[in-house]
Amino acid sequence: MQTEIKKFTRHITGDELIAACEREGFPCQPRKYLEEGSDYIHFGFQHGRIFVSALYSTVNGRAFGEYAQSTGKGALKKGTDFSTDDTLDGTPWFDALLSFLYLS
């Protein structure tokens, strides 16, 4: 069975990322973006027991960072590096992250 790849029309803006993180209760560190004109925003994302810590480029919509599964005590094991360029399509947390960062 082949999974259909979702098509996106554009990536969200920095302001949209900040608002989405606030709405979902995800950590977001936009100070450098808002005050210094940085093109990057550091943010966190959670899907089930998977936690993501990533840097988002407001210029091209790419994100990179690491993901890890919760140990059940609120702590994370050492994460695995990832990028939105990786071929993780079909992985539930990755698909949810793409849907968070891109509009269809």
Residue 8: what are its φ and ψ, rounded to 5°?
A: -115, 150
**Gap between the Cα atoms of 10 and 8, Å rounded:** 6
Does residue 52 carry a pLDDT above 70? yes
Q: Alpha carbon of 13 to those of 19, 26, 41, 55, 102: distances in Å?
A: 10, 16, 10, 13, 9
Closest CA to 8 of 81, 47, 61, 63: 61
pLDDT value, residue 34: 97
pLDDT category at 86 given cuts 50, 70, 90 is confident
Instruction: Give the mean pLDDT of 31-56.
Output: 95
pLDDT category at 3 given cuts 50, 70, 90 is low
Q: What percent of the chain has pLDDT over 70?
A: 88
Instruction: Give the mean pLDDT of 17-27.
Output: 97
